[in-house]
Amino acid sequence: MPETQSASQQVIEEVASWPGVEAGPGDRGSSVAFRLGRRELGHLHGDRAMHTGFPREVWIELREQGRIDYHPVFPDRQGPAAREMRDPDDVRDVIALLRLNYDRVVASHGLPGEADGQDRGRPVTEGGGGR
């Protein structure tokens, strides 16, 4: 009988396979953070939630679509975001949300180490990559 992967294992396996992404211990009690160079794309809190950050306009659109909610540490701020992982659809959307951040960073800054995409260590959003 095949072993079923946990929600976090599914996310880690997919996101860590993207060029330039490193998965490692997160700060502030998170189980794993995804980084592209020094930029955090987001992080997981076990199998229950993903935290990240988006520019205000993107955050508003995603919130209106019901794809993200306010970050529990910043309950009144637009930018920091949270997404629960309760079922396979949530896991797929967490991967899609992280891919959205990945694509934005690569489009703006390139992959770490590319000559024309120097990684200057700026956060994904003005307020950081989320907590």
Specify the pLDDT at position 30. 62
Specify the pLDDT at position 115. 55
Are 124 and 81 in contact by the 8 Å Cβ rule? The answer is: no
| Distance (Å, whole) CA 14 – CA 2 | 18
Q: What is the 3-state secondary structure (H, E, C) of 52-115?
A: EECCHHHHHHHHHCCCCEEECCECCCCCEEEEECCCHHHHHHHHHHHHHHHHHHHHHHCCCCCC
Q: Supply the mean pLDDT for the chain.
A: 86
Is position 121 within any domain? no
Is position 1 within any domain? no
Is position 131 within any domain? no
Q: What share of the chain is helix, strand, coil (3-state, %, to 5)?
A: 30, 25, 45
Is position 18 within any domain? yes
Is position 102 within any domain? yes
Domain containing 12: what range? 7-109
Is position 31 within any domain? yes
Is position 115 within any domain? no
Is position 118 within any domain? no
Mean pLDDT over residues 57-81, rounded? 95
This prediction's pTM: 0.83
Number of domains in the chain: 1
In the predicted structure, residue 95 carries a pLDDT above the cut 90 = yes
Predicted confidence (pLDDT) per residue in 7-41, tens digit: 999 999 999 999 999 999 887 666 799 999 989 99
